[in-house]
Structure 1
Amino acid sequence: MEKEEETREILLPNWQGSGSHGITIDQTDDGVFVKRVQQNSPAAKMGVVKEGDQIVSATVYFDNLQSGEVTQLLNSMGHHTVGLRLQRKGDKSPLPGQSWSHDVFTASSPEVVL
């Protein structure tokens, strides 16, 4: 019986874009892999990201995105598998500090057709 490979999800808070966490990735025909973890970087200090790890997916939390960034992000996905984590009003928030204390849909909310 083949041993199933271990997968794990890590959280990289305060993502500032390329280079912000010290992870260099390489995309090959076999997938996306961690090529290098910069010494003393936030990723190295976490100790959970290792060279050779395959990145099989990424989660982007919408809580701090500016107006229009969600639309731009979703529109850029093209023909790829996209997973959506959904939450209903009244459900407990998946992230600390978030709540449904305000009206979710406002007149200024942009409409996106997925």
Structure 2
Amino acid sequence: HLHRKCSPSALRNSILTLKTEVEAGASGFSVAGGGNEGIFIKKVLKESPASKVFSLREGDQLLSATIFFDNIKYEDALKILQYSEPYRVQFSLKRKISGKEELEHFHSTAQYKKERLSQSALVLLLSPLTK
């Protein structure tokens, strides 16, 4: 069956991955951890945007944060990009395509990514499981 009922005790031990709504003003919380351990929400102020708007809870692991660049000051965008340089980053871009050559480049890049993903999946399938 695709749908199975879970007991409350099974749900209690589950891990849930959430994405919050897009809002401004993420304040009222502190974090702890870092490195291989990860970043965790350490404290959330009761009536803060972190609590009321983003529903953050103490102990939540912060997996990523998306910062939108619409209406951002140049200096702020530059700082964010400079600080993010040593870390994994994913960009969301809007691009004007002006000609056939650019479109061909876009298709070849997309094909390259598709091949890389296929190779990665194959490596995962062929790799022995380790604990």
TM-score range, shorter-chain basis?
A: 0.5 to 0.7
Q: Deviations over 1:62-108 (max 9, x none)?
A: 0121124323321222221001112345xxxxxxxxxxxxxxxxxxx
Provide the TM-score with structure 2 as the length reference.
Answer: 0.53
Equivalence map 1:31-110=2 (5 Å) = 31-46=38-53, 48-88=55-95
1:8 and 2:18 are equivalent in the alignment: yes
| Larger Rg over CA atoms | 2
Root-mean-square deviation (Å): 2.6
Q: Where is the helix percentage greater, Structure 1 or Structure 2?
A: 2
5+ unaligned residues in a row in structure 2: which ranges? Answer: 1-12, 97-131
Q: What is the alpha-carbon distance in structure 2 between the residues aligned to residue 79 and residue 47 of structure 1?
A: 27
Which letter maps to 2:90? G
SS at match of 2:43: strand
Tell me what 2:106 maps to.
none
SS at match of 2:31: strand
Q: Give the percent of matched residue pairs that are identical in Structure 1 and Structure 2.
A: 30
Provide the TM-score with structure 1 as the length reference.
Answer: 0.59
Q: What is the alpha-carbon distance in structure 1 between the residues aligned to residue 67 and residue 54 of structure 2?
A: 21
Which letter maps to 1:57? S
How many residue pairs get aligned? The number is 84
Tell me what 2:27 maps to.
21
